[in-house]
Copies of this chain bind each other. A is one copy, B any other.
Amino acid sequence: MPQVFLDRDLIGRPGGRRDITTPALVLDLDVLEANLDAMTAWATSQDIALRPHAKTHKCAAIGRLQMERGALGLCCAKLAEAEALNAAGLRRFLLTSPVVGARKVTRLMTLAAQCEDLMVVVDDAGNVDDLAAAAKAAGHDLALLIDVDVGLRRTGVTSTEAALALAERIAAAPRLKLHGLQGYAGGVQHITDFEARRRASHESLAILAAVRAALEAADHPCPIMTGGGTGTHAIDPAAGVLNELQVGSYIVSDVEYDAVDLTGDASRRFRNALCVYARVVSACHEGIATIDAGSKSLAMDGPAPRVAFGAPEGTRYSCSGDEFGELALPRGHNEPLRPGDLVALVVPHCDPTINCFDWYHCVRGDTLVDAWPIEARGAAA
């Protein structure tokens, strides 16, 4: 259960957005919906399916919006994410990382029994054996994808031979069912230049296609070919390898993705839907103000957050501790910020910033309209 929501009384109050308790994670539902619709329209036009990644939003309400728009299911990076979203009523998951160890495998089988569709990736023979034993003991089938390393060097088999060996091992286990392949080119997603990103992504997908060809030649069909992300969503369909995309960040975008030309024509398919609202808590120095959002409220592993409103153009944020940030006003600006002033910051890197919060403050225009719990916040295990 997330912590108490502090602003229940503001919901529906005209202009209540400006009274939100800070720091807060503020989600613009109009922009969110437009982003969801834009991705759905793109995928439909390309005849490719979506299996959006819930590691980004960690929220059942957003997951439901994705499912209502035709998503096949949700991806989760961790078992606990899927458990949290399942507890909130979602039923179709792909676990995009291996689930390893006896205790987690036990939880996996419990979750599988509660889901309409649960798949998990594998890249290790011992892990396949553990899953085979667990599925046999549970008396129901378990759907697997073989994870293929297409260049990230993080998870996934590193050769066609290894993939074939895993496929044979899966085929030999009565309760395991091979449904296809996953190949995620994580390192490619943020290549800023479209053409360079296209080349890199298609090279990665060629690896995946070769593995599929070898498996299908050995009578291991791969109906599901899953991978990709927001950074390559406009690039991957043309390669003809994937039939579904694991897009995540498109729902809200962030400063990091704003630097990436996603579509090749510098159009902006997705707009910023997510800000951290903060307030000035101290303003004793000319030209700077201290706000109540530091590294416990803004993931600082990427670029700095960008001011959306509340401070003049050219204001720069820098983290000044776990709880505080410094706003440096542009030179020559002579309307100082004062304690209590509200500032909205576009989130720098959406996934880990969202993971700092228990709730989305949902707004439309100037009105706080809802509060959505981030059920899988912190669900890392």
Residues of A within 8 A of B (CB): 1, 3, 6, 19, 21-24, 55, 77-78, 80, 84, 97-98, 100-101, 103-104, 123-124, 126-127, 147, 149, 152-158, 162, 186, 279-285, 288, 290, 292-293, 295-297, 299-301, 319-324, 326, 338-340, 351-352, 355-358, 377-381
Contact = CB atoms under 8 A, between A and B. Distances in A.
Choose among A157, A323, A352 the residue with the greatest number of B CB atoms under 10 Å from its CB.
Answer: A323
A138 to B, nearest CB: 19
Contacts of A3: 1, 80, 84, 378-379
B321 A24 contact: no
B123 A6 contact: no
Choose among A123, A186, A340 the residue with the greatest number of B CB atoms under 10 Å from its CB.
Answer: A340
B279 A355 contact: no
B149 A284 contact: yes
B155 A284 contact: yes
A155 B98 contact: no
Contacts of A78: 292, 323
A321 B288 CA distance: 33
Given A153-B288, A157-B284, 7 more contacts: A21-B104, A55-B323, A126-B338, A126-B339, A149-B284, A156-B282, A296-B380
B290 A295 contact: no
5 contacts: A6-B80, A21-B103, A100-B279, A100-B292, A155-B282
A295 B288 contact: no
Given A22-B381, A339-B124, A296 B158 contact: no
A55 to B, nearest CB: 7
Given A155-B284, A284-B157, A284-B162, A23 B380 contact: yes
A377 B103 CA distance: 26
A171 to B, nearest CB: 20
A352 B296 contact: yes
B23 A321 contact: no
Contacts of A155: 281-282, 284, 290, 324
Contacts of A358: 378
A304 to B, nearest CB: 13
Contacts of A152: 320
A282 B22 contact: no
Contact of A186 (B97, B296, B321, B377): B321
Contacts of A326: 153-154
